[in-house]
């Protein structure tokens, strides 16, 4: 007998988790002397009240869709990829190298080239931990954490010694050529007669992210490889018995995962900064964990969870601007969401299951 | 490099290794009991914040330390609640706690002191004073041994000596007491421990309390070292401690050498911007990344094999 209907598992429990996380965050705001309701209002108007707000919200959302998909892909094979941060950093390097290599004539040519560059570098950074996990049994969680730090040192070194413009004070690469500048929402919506804030960073890579979400859905549920990945995730011994090569699955899964994280650089490096800066990822790789957990590893869930975190990120900077509440509040909410949906899941699930059982008995 | 420089580098090695050692031993207790602890970083951070804040407000370093221990242990208990009581994923719980700590310390710090997440500088009463060991001044002029005793061994704060004393103590507890035997057993084969009529849950919670206290000390030490709390001041030390724990293969004496090695790397990295060996120049970033690279190499089993406690990472479900 099923303990509870599917909708409760997919929608109700995440909703209860968010509600608890928001309530706790509200209590924190109240405890530090703020007004939680006014804070919520500031966040909502700041992120959805204007096209400028939307532009930032969707820009962050794009980042989180990429990293959320990266974590979710790995999770289908029950691999916990904490290395999205480092993979996205390397992706930025790949995108920057492609963008700076030649004088690109048009963004439509530069975009796929940069996507390949970012994906390849991100995948490269994921494939080493994957190989070590599959062949040498070193735990992928620890190796990907280590690789985050190594990536940060590596990119910092390359920026400082090779990519930095001589004589320039700030640690950043040269600006990308004009032919790589991606169309923003303002450029994209103008032909339809819709005016969108000109300076908002949301750009065409949002559509790339949505396409990736669709591709993820196709891959995981409608291809042989996806089936193998899920089978491996459900039961490693069962998968091996069915003739699935575990080394191959672990490596391929992590290559896809790393490539998705690396492609995030299309948005933040190519779309927004238009040059490679130090620490460009800003923790988006870690937010991917929260997004994947909350989205229950389903593409629709991931896009919605990414939108939620995009809202939190943009709303958080509005909070620090207008209410004097540090934007680190978002990190607190992020921690609470990960804790509640990931680790304390059974705390919410148990009572809800019992509730449904009781209702069920009442009917019978 | 002259002798005095060497002594100075070794001296800062000891200073930098101390928080790593404390956190590493914290992880050792927890992981030996079968609870993987990625949250070392967050616990240290909360502890450092509370030590900085409470020491400043009360003017007493001891109250600051107690608050640090309390805060760190509270996080440990959340970790226990999630990973032992509700059988959640230990890795995810640890990651969540790190975010919680990184966010809360800044949000609360800003509301409390309004310094952008910093705590005000600690004056003398609010931090641990260096302890001058007996005869340090008297023997300072003795060649070689004098500076070693006066600079390197003497003149550290209390927590440094506590940390180093904890190494033999931990060894003794783990390998020479009944509690230690049970602790190791619960990390290898919890059902056997359960069969013997010993509570797995209680043992694991006890290990987490010890881990909380030790992380509290590590955080208090950091706050004393920097004379206050700064946003994100642990700067990945929790993860380096985790790396050291793997490097040490979950053993106390090896933990000492691993953390001293990583402390030495950091000390050299702090002192020299780049190191030239013959025609090669080693960039400072490489020195920073070296602990992590070494850990990956160890994990890959190229230099000795690191085998974690067998039951680590999996919640214990009592047979029904």
A84-111 pLDDT, tens digit each: 999 999 999 999 999 998 888 889 899 9
* Contact yes or no for A247/A135 (Cβ under 8 A): yes
Confidence band for B67, pLDDT divided at 50, 70 and 90: very high
pLDDT at B265: 83
Quickly list H helices, B177-306.
Answer: 178-188, 190-195, 200-225, 237-247, 252-271, 284-299
pLDDT at B305: 63
Q: Which of B105-114, B157-166, B275-284, B290-299 shows the lowest mean pLDDT across its residues?
A: B275-284
d(CA B213, CA B225): 18
Share of chain A above pLDDT 90, in %: 46
pLDDT at A1: 45
The more confident residue out of A212 and A175 is A212
Rounded to 5 degrees, what angle do the CA atoms A28, A34, A37 make? 90
Question: Residue B3 class from Cβ within 10 Å (0-12 exposed, 13-18 middle, 19+ buried)?
Answer: exposed
Instruction: Find the residue in B nearest to A82 (Cα).
Output: B95
Q: Is A157's CB within 8 Å of B285's CB? A: yes
Contact residues for A169 (Cβ-Cβ < 8 A; gap 6+): none
Smallest Cβ–Cβ distance between B299 and the set A80, A142, A149 belongs to: A142
Residues A18-33, mean pLDDT to the nearest whole number: 88
Residue A92 corresponds to which tokens in the numbers above?
A: 């930025």
Q: Is B289's CB within 8 Å of A154's CB? A: yes
Q: Please indicate, yes or no, if residue B151 is contained in any of the structural domains.
A: yes
d(CA A56, CA A200): 6
* Contact yes or no for A257/A163 (Cβ under 8 A): no
Note the pLDDT tens digit of each residue in A247-294.
Answer: 999 999 999 999 999 999 999 999 888 889 888 888 899 899 889 988
Residue A251 corresponds to which tokens in the numbers above?
A: 């490596």
If one counts every other C-beta atom within 10 angstroms of the C-beta of residue B269, the result is: 21
d(CA B268, CA B270): 5
pLDDT at A364: 58
d(CA B43, CA B219): 8
Residues B225-233, mean pLDDT to the nearest whole number: 84
Residue B93 pLDDT more than 80?
A: yes
Q: Is B92's CB within 8 Å of A80's CB? A: yes
* Contact yes or no for A69/A293 (Cβ under 8 A): no
Q: Please indicate, yes or no, if residue B161 is contained in any of the structural domains.
A: yes
Residue B196 corresponds to which tokens in the numbers above?
A: 């013997």
The more confident residue out of A56 and B232 is A56
What is the DSSP-derived secondary structure letter of residue A326? Answer: -
Residue B145 pLDDT more than 80?
A: no
Most confident by average pLDDT, A12-16, A293-297, B41-45? B41-45
CA nearest to A279, candidates A152, A174, A162: A152
Residue A209 corresponds to which tokens in the numbers above?
A: 């992210």
Q: Please indicate, yes or no, if residue B304 is contained in any of the structural domains.
A: no
Question: Residue A191 class from Cβ within 10 Å (0-12 exposed, 13-18 middle, 19+ buried)?
Answer: exposed
Q: Please indicate, yes or no, if residue B319 is contained in any of the structural domains.
A: no
pLDDT at A74: 95
The more confident residue out of A289 and B300 is A289
d(CA A226, CA A252): 11
pLDDT at A329: 87
Q: Hey, CA dihedral for B194, B204, B97, B86, is it positive or negative?
A: positive
Indicate which CATH number applies to the domain containing B265. Answer: 1.10.3470
pLDDT at A166: 81
d(CA A7, CA A16): 13
* Contact yes or no for B198/B182 (Cβ under 8 A): yes
CA B174 from chain centre, in angstroms, equals 18
Q: Beta B130-131 vs B156-157: how paired, if at all?
A: antiparallel
* Residue A181 CA neighbour count, 13 Å, CB half: 8
Q: Please indicate, yes or no, if residue B32 is contained in any of the structural domains.
A: yes
Q: Is A345's CB within 8 Å of B111's CB? A: no
* Residue B51 CA neighbour count, 13 Å, CB half: 32
Residues B113-138, mean pLDDT to the nearest whole number: 75
Phi, psi of A184 (to 5 degrees): -85, 175
Q: Which of B95, B230, B265, B298 to mutate to test the interface with A (most CBs of A within 10 A)?
A: B95
Alpha-carbon distance values, A322 to A59, B113, B190 (Å): 21, 18, 53
Computed over every residue of chain A, the mean pLDDT equals: 89
pLDDT at B129: 77
Most confident by average pLDDT, A331-335, B86-90, B125-129, B175-179? B175-179
Q: Please indicate, yes or no, if residue B260 is contained in any of the structural domains.
A: yes
Residues B211-217, mean pLDDT to the nearest whole number: 95
Residue B106 corresponds to which tokens in the numbers above?
A: 């800044």
| Structural domain containing residue B152 | 3-299
d(CA B136, CA B256): 25
Q: Which residue is listed with tokens 């207790």? A: B29
Rounded to 5 degrees, what angle do the CA atoms B272, B278, B282 make? 40
Q: Which of A344, A346, A350 to mutate to test the interface with B (most CBs of B within 10 A)?
A: A344
Note the pLDDT tens digit of each residue in A144-200.
Answer: 988 999 999 999 999 888 888 887 777 888 888 888 888 888 888 888 888 888 888
Q: Is A347's CB within 8 Å of B296's CB? A: no
* Contact yes or no for A267/A62 (Cβ under 8 A): yes
A352 touches chain B (CB under 8 A): no
Q: Please indicate, yes or no, if residue B144 is contained in any of the structural domains.
A: yes
pLDDT at A83: 92
Residues B207-214, mean pLDDT to the nearest whole number: 96
d(CA A327, CA B54): 24
CA A94 from chain centre, in angstroms, equals 18
Which A positions 180-239 lie with beta carbon below 8 A of chain B? none
- At A188, which helix (H) or strand (E)? helix A185-189
* Contact yes or no for B121/B59 (Cβ under 8 A): no
Most confident by average pLDDT, A118-122, A277-281, B236-240? A118-122
Strand partners, A172: A277
Smallest Cβ–Cβ distance between A345 and the set B88, B242, B292 belongs to: B88
Residue B278 pLDDT more than 70?
A: no
Confidence band for B318, pLDDT divided at 50, 70 and 90: confident
Q: Please indicate, yes or no, if residue B313 is contained in any of the structural domains.
A: no
Instruction: Find the residue in B nearest to A344 (Cα).
Output: B82
Residues of B whose CB is below 8 A from A150: 289, 292-293, 296
d(CA B96, CA A335): 4
Number of domains in chain B: 1
CA nearest to A332, candidates B71, B97, B73, B181: B97
Strand partners, B277: B280
d(CA B266, CA B240): 11
Smallest Cβ–Cβ distance between A339 and the set B96, B239, B301 belongs to: B96
* Contact yes or no for B301/A136 (Cβ under 8 A): yes
Residues of B whose CB is below 8 A from A154: 285, 289
d(CA A67, CA A262): 8
């Amino acid at each position: 007998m099923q303990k509870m209907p599917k909708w409760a598992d997919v929608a109700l429990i995440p909703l209860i988790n968010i509600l608890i996380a928001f309530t706790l965050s509200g209590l924190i705001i109240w405890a530090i002397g703020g007004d939680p309701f006014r804070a919520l209002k500031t966040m909502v108007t700041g992120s959805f009240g204007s096209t400028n707000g939307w532009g930032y919200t969707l820009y962050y959302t794009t980042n989180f869709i990429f990293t959320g998909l990266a974590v979710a892909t790995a999770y289908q094979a029950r691999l916990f990829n904490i290395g999205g941060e480092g993979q996205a950093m390397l992706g930025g390097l790949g995108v920057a190298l492609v963008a700076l290599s030649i004088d690109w004539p048009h963004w439509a040519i530069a975009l796929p080239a940069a996507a390949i560059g970012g994906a390849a570098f991100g995948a490269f950074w994921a494939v080493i931990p994957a190989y070590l996990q599959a062949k040498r049994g070193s735990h992928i969680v620890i190796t990907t954490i280590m690789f985050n730090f190594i990536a940060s040192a590596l990119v910092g070194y390359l920026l400082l010694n090779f990519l930095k413009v001589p004589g320039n004070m700030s640690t950043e690469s040269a600006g990308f050529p004009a032919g790589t500048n991606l169309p923003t929402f303002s450029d994209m919506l103008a032909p339809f007669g819709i005016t969108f804030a000109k300076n908002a960073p949301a750009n065409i890579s949002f559509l790339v992210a949505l396409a990736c979400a669709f591709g993820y859905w196709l891959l995981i549920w409608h291809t042989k490889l996806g089936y193998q990945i899920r089978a491996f995730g459900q039961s490693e011994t069962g998968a091996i018995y069915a003739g699935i090569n575990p080394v191959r699955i672990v490596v391929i899964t992590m290559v896809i995962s790393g490539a998705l994280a690396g492609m995030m650089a299309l948005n933040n490096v190519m779309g927004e900064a238009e040059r490679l800066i130090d620490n460009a990822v800003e923790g988006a790789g870690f937010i991917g964990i929260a997004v994947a957990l909350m989205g229950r590893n389903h593409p629709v869930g991931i896009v919605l969870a990414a939108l939620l975190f995009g809202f939190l990120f943009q709303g958080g900077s509005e909070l620090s601007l207008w209410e004097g509440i540090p934007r680190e509040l978002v990190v607190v909410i992020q921690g609470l969401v990960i804790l509640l949906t990931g680790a304390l899941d059974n705390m919410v699930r148990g009572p809800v299951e019992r509730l449904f059982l009781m209702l069920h008995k009442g009917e019978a | 490099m002259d002798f005095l420089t060497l002594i100075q580098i070794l001296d800062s090695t000891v200073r930098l290794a101390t928080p790593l050692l404390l956190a590493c031993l914290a992880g050792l207790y927890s992981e030996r009991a079968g609870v993987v602890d990625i949250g070392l970083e967050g616990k240290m951070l909360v502890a450092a914040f509370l030590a900085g804040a409470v020491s400043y407000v009360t003017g007493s370093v001891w109250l600051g330390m107690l608050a640090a221990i309390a805060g760190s242990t509270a996080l440990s208990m959340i970790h226990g609640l999630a990973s032992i009581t509700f059988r959640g994923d230990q890795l995810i719980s640890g990651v969540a706690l790190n975010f919680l700590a990184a966010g809360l310390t800044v949000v609360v710090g800003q509301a409390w002191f309004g310094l952008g997440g910093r705590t005000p500088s600690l004056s003398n009463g609010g931090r641990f004073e260096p302890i001058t060991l007996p005869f340090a001044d008297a023997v300072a002029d003795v060649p070689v041994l004098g500076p070693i005793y006066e600079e390197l061994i003497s003149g550290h704060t209390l927590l440094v000596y506590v940390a180093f004393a904890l190494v033999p103590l931990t060894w003794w507890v783990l390998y020479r007491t009944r509690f230690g035997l049970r602790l190791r057993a619960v990390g290898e084969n919890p059902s056997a421990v359960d069969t013997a009529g010993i509570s797995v849950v209680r043992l694991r919670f006890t290990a987490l309390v010890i881990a909380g206290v030790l992380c509290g000390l590590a955080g208090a030490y950091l706050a004393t070292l920097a004379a206050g709390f700064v946003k994100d001041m642990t700067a990945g030390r929790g993860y380096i401690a985790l790396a050291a724990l793997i490097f040490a293969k979950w053993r106390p004496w090896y933990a000492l050498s691993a953390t001293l090695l990583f402390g030495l790397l950091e000390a050299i990295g702090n002192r020299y911007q780049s190191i030239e060996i013959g025609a090669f120049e080693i960039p400072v970033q490489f020195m920073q990344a070296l602990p992590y690279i070494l850990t990956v190499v160890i994990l890959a089993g190229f230099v000795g094999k690191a085998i974690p406690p067998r039951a680590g990472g999996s919640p214990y479900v009592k047979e029904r």
